[in-house]
Amino acid sequence: MTVALSGSEIAKQVEKKFPGSVVESTADSLLVKADSLLEIASYLKTTAGLDFDYLTAITAVDYHDCFEVVYQLTSLKHNHSLVVKTRCYNRDNPTLPSVVGLWRGADFQEREIYDLMGISFEGHPNLKRIVLWEGFEGHPLRKDFL
Amino acid sequence: MEVEEVYSSSELDRKEGKAINELIARSQEPIPDPDQWLDEELKRNILLTSVDALIDWGRRSSMWPVVCFPACCAFEFIATSVSRFDIDRFGMGIIRASPRQADLMITAGTLTWKMAPQVKRIYDQMAEPKWVIAMGACAISGGIFRSSYSVVPGYNRIIPVDVYVPGCPPRPEALIYGIRMLHKKISKMSIAAKGK
């Protein structure tokens, strides 16, 4: 079975490599700063021993004061997994770096989050609505949609 | 990045979005059910001619349904169409992928606004005379998704519906009852009355 790696353990490694990039970490996940998301993602993907070569899912949560985007990573090589989160506090124009360059599977999922949550992913090659149609007003999964 | 070439043009999305928004704008009210003539006919007490009787018999005895199964009611329709309930008994066993060859649309499932222009196009492509059975709660009123931002609150917003079959989903028996009701309706039609 896939082993879920401890967020706190990985956080130590990440913090050593990129000081000040981890906001908090628990046994289940680690929360990183949005600015350093891309370099941490790249580090998790390419470092020997971690090798997170597969992006299982990206989801987004609306916590009213911020959006939290959750990356579920898996390593097919080592059969282990990790949950990485990041937060976006700008509600009017939320922006995060795109991870499509690292994992192609992020393409549609980032578009879905853009569509339903309204978070823009910088560097996405084709960021447009995927589920709803062009010209739809608003982002329905936001808590303040209705 | 050369992979960008795999993406479709955003011009297509804009055209699609425009078509959908226009359809929503002109579909705010339900289309009246095409059955006013039923009462008139009875009031005027017109007897059907034997030509009408023959043609109506022909029409109702081989109604071919078109493929329009956007959601879960499709499975009850499939159950209805295969051996256990067997709508081939009514000459309906041939489910056409081409709307040109179909007489009946059984709208088995939730319809989203994004899908609505395609369903309307399929209906428009069907040759007259044509009928629609709204199957299930979603087809009648949008069902539990009625207040959703993306669901059509009933097929009668975009196409006229002849028979409504309630249920979530309706049992095959219920659908067959609806089909029998449509048969009765067709048997009252007169070819002299233009349209329906």
**pLDDT tens digit string along B141-160?**
999 999 999 999 999 999 99
Query: Exposed, middle or buried: residue A51 (CB in 10 Å: 0-12, 13-18, 19+)?
Result: middle
| B150:A125 CB<8 A | no
Give the amino acid at B103: D
pLDDT at B1 over 70: no
pLDDT at B41 over 70: no
Query: Exposed, middle or buried: residue A11 (CB in 10 Å: 0-12, 13-18, 19+)?
Result: buried
3-state secondary structure chain B: CHHHHHCCCHHHHHHHHHHHHHHHHCCCCCCCCCCHHHHHHHHHCCCCCHHHHHHHHHHHHCCCEECCCCCCHHHHHHHHHCCCCCHHHHCCCCCECCHHHCCEEEEECCCECCCHHHHHHHHHHCCCCCEEEEECHHHHHCHHHCCCCCECCCHHHCCCCCEEECCCCCCHHHHHHHHHHHHHHHHCCCCCCCCC
Among A70, A68, A39, CA closest to A55: A70
The residue to which tokens 């006919």 are assigned: B41
Residue of higher predicted confidence among A112 and B9 = A112
The residue to which tokens 């028979």 are assigned: B163
pLDDT at B190 over 80: no
| A135:B150 CB<8 A | no
pLDDT at B94 over 90: no
pLDDT value of position A91? 87
Residue B6 CA, distance from chain mean position: 36
Residue A25 belongs to what H/E stretch? strand A22-25
Specify the CATH architecture of the domain A3-92: 2-Layer Sandwich (3.30)
Residue among A125, A132, A135 whose CB faces B150 most closely: A132
pLDDT value of position B33? 84
**ipTM (interface pTM):** 0.78
pLDDT at B98 over 50: yes
Query: Exposed, middle or buried: residue B63 (CB in 10 Å: 0-12, 13-18, 19+)?
Result: buried
Judging contacts by C-beta atoms under 8 Å, the chain A residues touching residue B10 are 128, 134
Task: Write down the domain spans for chain A.
Answer: 3-92
pLDDT value of position B52? 80
Query: A71: which strand partners?
Result: A58, A84
Q: For chain B, what's the residue count? A: 196
Residue among A126, A135, A145 whose CB faces B21 most closely: A135
| A133:B13 CB<8 A | yes
The residue to which tokens 């447009």 are assigned: A128
pLDDT value of position B195? 47
| B1:A126 CB<8 A | no
Judging contacts by C-beta atoms under 8 Å, the chain A residues touching residue B152 are none
Q: Percentage of chain B surpassing pLDDT 70?
A: 88
The residue to which tokens 């082993």 are assigned: A3
Domains contained in chain B, CATH given: 32-187 (3.40.50.12280)
Band of pLDDT at residue B46, cut at 50, 70 and 90: low
Judging contacts by C-beta atoms under 8 Å, the chain A residues touching residue B4 are 125-126
Query: Which pTM does this prediction carry?
Result: 0.84
Dump pLDDT digits (tens) for A84-104.
999 999 888 999 999 999 999
Judging contacts by C-beta atoms under 8 Å, the chain B residues touching residue A115 are none
Question: How many cross-chain Cβ pairs, A to B, lie less than 8 Å apart?
Answer: 35
* Average pLDDT of the segment spanning B46-73: 84
